[in-house]
């Protein structure tokens, strides 16, 4: 097997889908603009700094889903896709994914954003295989605010890819070649694990590490 792994936010799309979804719920009137934006901004700065408590963040991000239920949230997400995400999907990102698919690579999106936000985005890219943060749900299908299983964040991305491989009777030794595209210092554990790490639209710290180690740097949205 040849693996082509992609981070999502600021890698395949030039925005943060989780942050954008939060701001979209403000536009819908689901959240108070001032308090939500302040908290959302604070969490985003923690993410960029590599200090984010992912469990605390997920409790924050799914609060609107818990209050408005599955049907209303799904309808809102369809509007979110039309208004925010599809205009942000750029042809060069689609072409990169298609190139790996045409080469016979197994393409997987591996993201620290939750599956509610990202599953439709992966579908828009034509990628069935998604590793995202799985939300614990109650009997009615509503998120509880907790994470189910290992969060696909930092070292958890490595664990989740290994879980994905194991579910298919594979491990790293059965992967002939692996590539991972990411913009973030948070993804250093998985970048270190693959055969070909690609710093994609990298933040300053990842760019410095990529330059020092001789990794390929790809500015997809330059």
Catalytic residues: 7, 9
- 2-218 has which CATH code? 3.40.50.1000
Pick from 111, 150, 104: which is nearest to 21 by CA?
Answer: 111
Pick from 60, 32, 33: which is nearest to 46 by CA?
Answer: 60
Element (H, E) at 2: strand 2-6
CA distance 182 to 147: 23
Mean of the per-residue pLDDT values of the chain: 96
pLDDT (tens digit per residue) in 24-40? 999 999 999 899 889 98
Beta strands in 22-72 (DSSP E): none
Split at pLDDT 50, 70, 90, the class of 88 is very high
Residue 10 gets the label, from left (phi > 0), alpha (psi -120 to 50) or beta, of left
User: Is 133 within 8 Å of 148 (Cβ atoms)?
Assistant: no
User: Is 113 within 8 Å of 186 (Cβ atoms)?
Assistant: no
CA distance 87 to 198: 25
pLDDT at 50: 82
CA distance 158 to 133: 13
Residue 135 β-bridge partners: 147
pLDDT at 191: 98
Mean pLDDT of 81-92: 98
User: Is 206 within 8 Å of 183 (Cβ atoms)?
Assistant: yes
pLDDT (tens digit per residue) in 141-200? 889 999 999 999 999 999 999 999 999 999 999 999 999 999 999 999 999 999 999 999
CA distance 128 to 113: 16
């Amino acid at each position: 097997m040849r693996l082509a792994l992609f981070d999502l936010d600021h890698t395949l799309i030039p925005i943060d889908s989780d942050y954008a979804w939060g701001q979209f719920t403000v536009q819908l009137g689901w959240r108070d603009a001032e308090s939500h934006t302040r908290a959302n901004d604070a969490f985003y700065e923690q993410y960029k700094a590599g200090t984010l408590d992912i469990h605390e963040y997920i409790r924050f991000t799914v609060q609107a889903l818990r209050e408005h239920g599955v049907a209303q949230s799904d309808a809102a997400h369809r509007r979110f896709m039309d208004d925010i995400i599809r205009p942000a999907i750029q042809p060069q990102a689609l072409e990169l994914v298609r190139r790996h698919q045409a080469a016979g690579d197994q393409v997987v999106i591996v993201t620290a954003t939750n599956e509610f936000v990202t599953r439709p985005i992966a579908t828009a890219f034509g990628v069935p295989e998604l590793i995202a943060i799985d939300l614990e749900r109650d009997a009615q299908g509503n998120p509880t605010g907790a994470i189910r299983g290992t969060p696909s964040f930092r070292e958890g991305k490595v664990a989740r890819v290994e879980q994905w491989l194991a579910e298919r009777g594979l491990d790293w030794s059965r992967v002939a070649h692996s590539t991972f595209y990411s913009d973030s210092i948070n993804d250093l554990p998985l970048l270190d694990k693959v055969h070909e790490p690609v710093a994609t639209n990298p933040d300053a710290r990842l760019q410095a590490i990529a330059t020092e180690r001789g990794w390929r740097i790809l500015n997809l949205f330059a």
